[in-house]
Every structure is written in structure tokens, then in C-alpha cells.
Amino acid sequence: MARPSGISARPEQPAEFDVVIVGAGFAGLYAVHRLRELGLAVRCYDAASGVGGTWFWNRYPGARCDVESMDYSYSFSPELEQEWSWTERYPAQPEILRYLNHVADRFDLRRDIQLETRVTGASYDETAGRWEVRTGQGDVARARFLVIATGCLSAARIPDFPGLGSFQGATYHTADWPDEGVDFTGKRVGVIGTGSSGTQAIPLIAAQAAHTTVFQRTANFSLPARNRPLDREYERALKARYQEHREFVRYTPNGTARRNSDRSALEASAEERRTEYESRWQEGGGGFIGAFNDLLKNQDANDTAAEFLRSKIREIVRDPRVADLLSPRGFPVGSKRVTVDTDYYATFNRPDVTLVDVHSAPIEEITPTGIRTADASYELDAIVFATGFDAITGAVLAIDPRGRGGLHLRDKWSAGPRTYLGLVTAGFPNLFLVTGPGSPSVISNMVVSIEQHVDFIADHLVYLNKNGLEVTEADAAAEDAWMDHVNEVAAGTLFVKGNSWYVGANVPGKPRIFMPYVGGVGVYRRKCEDIAASDYPGFRTT
């Protein structure tokens, strides 16, 4: 690709910037804008051929956000939020991608973004106080600060199935979907994975394919999205108080306008619970989990929600054997990400859809003509891997930054990620993570958490500059205390009981650590505000 002049530099002639930003999704785009406003010279790299991050890659049929559009958008510009108009309650991938392209143009961000350039390594030069960043294209850039904005769900993974390369049909991963789409008409399609991506894609694949076989290892709790065109009156009313609404959302438990009850499920009668669950089910979306205040804390309370959701599956799915297989058991609702779908369960009433239990009979091999499990073989023309990501740490460790004394982040995090506030990690000066492990990140509305982190980083850089400081770094003791706090808060919830990607359970050999901070978006924000207002305790600055 031809690069705009002045952007590229070869190893013998490194380019100098104040900040290198990795990733041009929601986080990277805002970081370019915010840090450039401070007068800093920034360079943003992204491996993709366009901006958009996760919304660039995840083009699978049905890809849609499970946070409502008017909340899943930037709040930093009142003009932007007034002029942009979403079409649906939950935005679909193409619309989010259009929005992010609009943002890139509107704020003239592209001149500082170099696409089709994967960052492959970064090392801190202690003598010069500079990060040296290397790319797969041979670029070398030097910068005082490195901001890793690679996203929590960007390192897609396909399990290491024997025979993977032997399949003669087409294979796809939901997070690396062809630009031009895929036509499954007349095809026998196998889908492996029933998380958020599989649950969204399966109804649309099934509507097109000759036959769809769904390979399910763990049944997930799924809620109907009840997506619909955005009500214009609702939009007008919200826009009239948009900034006030944003400020409210910033201090909520998860960064959305979800209604959170202050009542225990166990204080309510069975009839009251049923009424409340039914009303949230009818409302659609992830608001179900806010029905009572102890659903993520108390197993007995959670059991009532789980049983309600299983009863819904039995109502929708006609074949009792299939309904039973689709009914999640053995982990609390919400401890694995609850999926939000359109017609997922009803899809299993189709005569051309087969559900295969690969928990009791695991996939043993991908063969040239299909998939062989422990008890049967399935002939297929195409396989869709909806098998998820090496979440939260995967993309950061693919860069494997090297800090003081050449320390590899991969070694430092060998027993699990360690950070202070999910923003910085001891031994890696002037390196910031946006929505890193130990911050609310994936347990929150990502856009709210991204803006908060980028603003924190920007304010911190202003502080350093004002005080003539060159280097900032997590204090090791503060990091230990923060990790203890993250673990303690998680241990008081049911989150730790699920074998989820939140704990790295989906990647063989990955250390089992509950990675996000579940103390709440508002609580976390206040902690960060207090730290910023008190000259950044926990940061070693020189």
C-alpha cells in the first residue's frame, strides 16, 4: 500500500513521535484525537486495511452490538453526538463501522494512522527514555509513550483440532470474515461455538444454508435482543439531555442505562420474581441481569434466574431433547457472558438444523470432508469457527513489549496479567494499556471505559509535562495491592464460577485469573479520579 509521505521510516532512520498508539478501533481513534489535541505528535498503527478495530474484522452475518446504540458511542464531542443518528436500538456491525469511519474523517484522524501495519515488537530504551516500536512492514518508530489500544477481543483463535488443515471445503472465523460476505446457499454448514458470535450468526446462516449443524460444547444463557428501529421520539428526547445522560452513565455499575434493582431476588415471592423476569425478557437485551441486586452474588438468587431462562427455552424449542441440550447448567447466569440474540432458540425448530453435543462426544478430528466427533461423522461443505479469542491479554502479548532490563511482558505475566488499575504495569515505563486486565473493560460498556482510560492517560501526560517529569511507571507495591483488590472483589461474586474467557478458561494452558475488575464502572472511575487528584499515588514518576 502506498503510504502518505513522511509516515514511513526504515530501521536505519527511525521516525520520532511523542506517542505511538497501537490499534485504530474505538480506543485508538479517540487516543489519536485526544492526545493530538494536547499538541503531541502521534502515530497510530493498525494491521487492518481500515479503521474500526473489532468492528472492522467481525463482519459475520448478524454481527451486532449488545449495548444500545445511543450508549455505545463517543461522548467526547457534543456536536458529534447531536449530528449522528443511529437507525436501530442495537447497532449492526456495518453501521458501527460507518460511524467510526465518520469519526475518523470528521476529526481528520487518518493523517496520523498507518494502516496495514502490524506492530510486532516494542522495547524500552532506558538510556534514551524512548520506546522503540517495530512493525511487520519494517518500520521502526521511537516515542516517549506507548499506548496499547489493541482491544480485549482481537486475537481470534481456532482450537488446535487434529486435521484442521485437511478440510477441503471453505473455513471461516467469525472474527476474520470476508469483506464481500459468504453465500451459503445450497451448502451444508457446520458451526463450532455458541458464544455471542455463534448465537448471532447461526440463525442467519441457517436461513440460507441447505443444512446447518451446530456443534455445541457449552449451552449459553441467551436473551432476546428485541432489536427494532430506533424510536425517533426517544432519540430526540435523549439528545435533548445527552450530556447529562452520559454523565449519569459514567457512574453506573456497568456504563449503561440498564435499570438495576436494589432488591434481592430472595426477598421477592416466586410470583414477583416471575413477573419481573418476564417483564425484562419482554423488554429484551442484557437488562435482565439487573432484575435483582444479588443475581451475580448469590447462587440461590441466581438459580431463580437460571430456571426462568431454562423455562423459556422449553417454551420456544419444540423437541424436548433439543431444548434440554440447549439449557445451560452447571454455571451461574452471567458468569459467562450472557448472549443477546435474535431468533436463536427458534432456529432449532427448523428441520434443516441439527444440534450436536460436543461436550459428551468431543470433536476428535477435522477430516477432508467434515467433522468427526467421538461418536459420529458429519459431512460438510463449509465450517464456521465461532470459537472466540485469546481475550484481554492475547493481542498485548502478541506484541510482547520489553521493559526495563529487557524484561518480556510475556514473562512478567506468565502466571497471569498484573497491572495497576489495568492501565500500567510495573517494569514497563511510559507504557499504557487502554482497558487492560484489572479494569472494568469487558464487564462494561467498552466505549465508556475507553473514553475514561484515554482521558486518564491524557490528563496524566499533562501532569507529567507540567511537573517536568519524563517517566511514569506503576509502583510494584501499588500493583500488588490493586491485584489483591481485583481478586478480592471478583471472589465475592459468582463471576469466578464460570469457565469463561474472563478467566482464560477457553485457551489451553492460559493461567486461570479473573481478568476484569468487577467493582463497577462508577466505583472504578471515582478511584481513578481520586488518584489523579492526589498527584497519582501508585505511579512512580521521575
Residue nearest to ligand NAP (CB): 195
- Looking at beta carbons only, is 44 or 152 nearer to ligand NAP? 152
Minimum distance from CB of 463 to ligand NAP (Å)? 33
Q: Please give, one letter per residue, the 3-state secondary structure of 28-46.
A: HHHHHHHHHHCCCCEEEEC
CA angle 493, 499, 505 (to 5 degrees): 120
Measure Cα distances from 494 to 200, 421, 497, 498 in Å. 25, 22, 5, 8
- Looking at beta carbons only, is 194 or 435 nearer to ligand NAP? 194
- Looking at beta carbons only, is 390 or 475 nearer to ligand NAP? 390
- Looking at beta carbons only, is 365 or 455 nearer to ligand NAP? 365
Minimum distance from CB of 196 to ligand NAP (Å)? 3
Cell numbers that stand for 519 in this block = 467493582
Minimum distance from CB of 379 to ligand NAP (Å)? 18
- Looking at beta carbons only, is 135 or 200 nearer to ligand NAP? 200
Cell numbers that stand for 478 in this block = 501499588
Minimum distance from CB of 215 to ligand NAP (Å)? 6
E strands, 62-173, are 113-114, 119-125, 130-135, 140-148, 170-173
- Looking at beta carbons only, is 153 or 205 nearer to ligand NAP? 153
Minimum distance from CB of 499 to ligand NAP (Å)? 7
Cell numbers that stand for 86 in this block = 443511529
Q: How far apart are CA 192 and CA 134, in angstroms?
A: 35
Q: Which residues bind ligand NAP (CB under 6 A)?
A: 64-66, 153, 159, 174, 192-198, 200, 215, 217-218, 337, 340, 358, 363, 386-389, 442, 501, 506
- Looking at beta carbons only, is 116 or 324 nearer to ligand NAP? 324
- Looking at beta carbons only, is 302 or 500 nearer to ligand NAP? 500
Upper half-sphere CA count for residue 215 (Cβ side, 13 Å): 28
Q: How far apart are CA 498 and CA 500, in angstroms?
A: 5
Q: How far apart are CA 424 and CA 426, in angstroms?
A: 7
Minimum distance from CB of 192 to ligand NAP (Å)? 5
Pairing state of beta strands 188-192 and 382-385? parallel
- Looking at beta carbons only, is 123 or 200 nearer to ligand NAP? 200
Would you call 223 exposed, middle or buried from its count of C-beta atoms within 10 A (0-12, 13-18, 19+)? buried
Minimum distance from CB of 46 to ligand NAP (Å)? 19
| Contact status, residue 416 vs residue 511, Cβ threshold 8 Å | yes
Residues 6+ apart with CB under 8 A from 330: none
Minimum distance from CB of 193 to ligand NAP (Å)? 3
Q: How far apart are CA 115 and CA 49, in angstroms?
A: 5
- Looking at beta carbons only, is 359 or 404 nearer to ligand NAP? 359
Q: How far apart are CA 184 and CA 203, in angstroms?
A: 13
Pairing state of beta strands 353-357 and 211-216? parallel
| Contact status, residue 35 vs residue 159, Cβ threshold 8 Å | no
Place of cell 428441520: 351
Minimum distance from CB of 257 to ligand NAP (Å)? 16
Minimum distance from CB of 408 to ligand NAP (Å)? 26
